[in-house]
Amino acid sequence: MESSMDTELTKLLGMPEDARKEKGVEYTAPEIYSQVGLWHDTYEGFKKSHADIKSFMKDFIEQNNPSIILTGAGTSEFIGYCVEGLFRKRLNLPVNTFSTTKIVTNPEEVMVKKPRLLISFARSGNSPESLGAVHIAEGSYNFIVTCNHKGALSQTSGKLKKSFLLCLDQATNDRGLAMTASFSNMVIAAQLLADFQNFDDAGMRVDRLVSIGQKMLSRADIFYEASRLDFKRAVFLGDGSHFGTAVESHLKLQELTSGRVMCAYDTFLGLRHGPEAVIDEETLVVAFVSGNRYVQKYEEDLLGEIREKRLGRAVLVVCRKKNDMLDRVSDLIVECDPEGDSQPADDYMPPVYIIAGQLLGLFKSIALGFKPDSPSESGVIHRVVEGVKIYDFATWRKTGNFKIIAER
């Protein structure tokens, strides 16, 4: 496989264990590298449960006017942005992404319609907001995707009336601070769920994604080169499913550099409506370019404008296959599928494209002297959020009293 080539990433993996621990890459680097191989395991685990999942989803869809909410906190929330369009296309239902943090604080703004399916994504399943969201959604259908079969959310699932629990391989439960393998594998699981009615081609599609993902890993040195540029800001751009890729990438770079690099995100067309002002001479622009030629034309126009205005420190383009225009508007370009045929469609590409954001965050963290496994020197950020109490909304509305239902 191409990812076996000697790159700055494989050099990190080849360091003695003590050296990797000292450098703070004991977990994050191998978790980024190994995630692609786990996509097969996620598919096989889903396949084993497919008949039961199909029955559960069929029962929900047959309800009168059903709707779907995709939820999670932080990175887990951003999974929803990567797949909500695919769910709408496949199921022809209202689908929205709301964070668990919004659900627990303002449930009446979110839980406005029944019957509904709450699809929860959680790495550890121990965040109080995850527990609070399913508590508020009691009486709804609940589908839980998590990387930790021992987590509180997994344990709670059996107490819910209408629920399905999908636990991924424990190897997806990242030990580093930043979610990497957990994110891409939960996105794969979500894509499989969206396609539960037409599952026959899913295995071949995952095989193809694995192949493209390996190519992306083999391009690690380009992200290493980008990380050595002198930038203090970064703006990530993406359309469609890659809006989710852009949102997640902005968080990856920001948290792995402990906020030293401040990041923003937007769609390509949205950038013109104000956010373009963020781009100064110390800004890296990262463009996740669509494989859909119609969408790509809009993206090329925007990148051409950035080049004409000479905005930013540099433009890094991530694409499936480059062309002359993309070459002209970029300073660095990564093509992950140059011999491909634009399949799978963009809807399925976030697990591949997010590797770009992860590698950029990993290498920039090291370049700035941080330890990627635990970059927060002040201890402000934790692997699982702390200091949160979740209060029972129904009790407060009825009595005005604050009853704690989850706490960490």
Mean pLDDT value across residues 8-33? 96
Residue 176 and residue 285 in one domain: no
Q: What is the pLDDT of residues 62-93, one digit of tens each?
A: 999 999 999 999 999 999 999 999 999 999 99
Which of 155, 183, 218 is the last residue in one of the domains?
218
Output the pLDDT for position 381: 58
Average pLDDT over residues 358-377: 94
pLDDT of residue 345: 94
Tell me whether the omega of the peptide bond preceding residue 115 falls within 30 degrees of 0, making it cis. yes
CATH number for position 139: 3.40.50.10490
User: How does pLDDT run across 273-298, given as a tens digit for each residue?
Assistant: 998 999 999 999 999 999 999 999 99
Of the residues 169, 192, 218, the one at which a domain ends:
218
Residue 253: band (very low, low, confident or very high) from pLDDT cuts 50, 70, 90:
very high
CA atoms of 301 and 307, how far apart (whole Å): 10
**Is the pLDDT reported for residue 49 higher than 90?**
yes
**Element spanning 42, H or E:** helix 28-61
Q: What is the predicted pLDDT for the residue at 387?
A: 65
Lookup: tokens for 209: 């994604």
Indicate the average pLDDT of the chain.
92
Is the predicted pLDDT of residue 405 greater than 70, yes or no?
Answer: no
Please give the tally of structural domains in the chain.
2
Task: Band the pLDDT of 378: cuts 50, 70, 90.
Answer: low
Residue 399 domain-assigned (yes or no): no
Mean pLDDT for 232-244 is 98
Judge contact between 118 and 96, C-beta under 8 A: no
185 and 258, same domain (yes or no): no
In a domain? residue 245: yes
Q: For 166-192, what is the mean pLDDT?
A: 97
Residue 394: inside a domain: no
**208 and 273 part of one domain:** no
Query: Among 218, 250, 282, where does a domain finish?
Result: 218
* Single pTM value for the model: 0.93
| 299/362 same-domain check | yes
pLDDT exceeds 50 at position 3: no
Residue 125's pLDDT is what?
Answer: 87
Q: Is residue 247 part of a domain?
A: yes
- Residue indicated by tokens 């039961």: 52
Query: What's the domain range around 314?
Result: 222-375
Whole-number CA gyration radius for the chain = 21
Query: Do residue 165 and residue 227 come from a single domain?
Result: no
Give yes or no: residues 166 and 244 share one domain: no
Rounded CA-CA distance 127/72 in Å is: 10
Task: Decide if pLDDT at 137 tops 80.
Answer: yes
In a domain, 105, yes or no: yes
**Residue 192 banded pLDDT, cuts 50, 70, 90:** very high
Together in a domain, 45 and 84:
yes
Do 239 and 361 belong to one domain? yes
Report the alpha-carbon distance of residue 265 to residue 261 in Å, rounded.
13
Residue 396: the pLDDT is 67
- 83 and 124 share a domain? yes
Return the DSSP state at 4. Answer: G
Phi-psi group of 381: left, alpha or beta (phi > 0 → left; psi -120 to 50 → alpha; rest → beta): beta
Q: Which helix (H) or strand (E) holds 287?
A: strand 283-288
Residue 109 lies in a domain: yes
Residue 102 lies in a domain: yes
Same domain, 232 and 258: yes
Q: Assess whether 91 and 23 both reside in one domain.
A: yes
392 or 216: whose pLDDT is higher?
Answer: 216
Asked if residue 397 is part of any domain, the answer here is no
- The Cβ of residue 207 has, within 10 Å, a number of other Cβ atoms equal to 12
Which residues lie below 8 Å from residue 55, measured CB to CB, with a gap of 6+?
none
Same domain? 295 vs 336: yes
Measured CA to CA in angstroms, residue 269 lies from 43, 266, 273, 306 at distances of 35, 8, 8, 12
**384 pLDDT band (50/70/90 cuts)?**
low
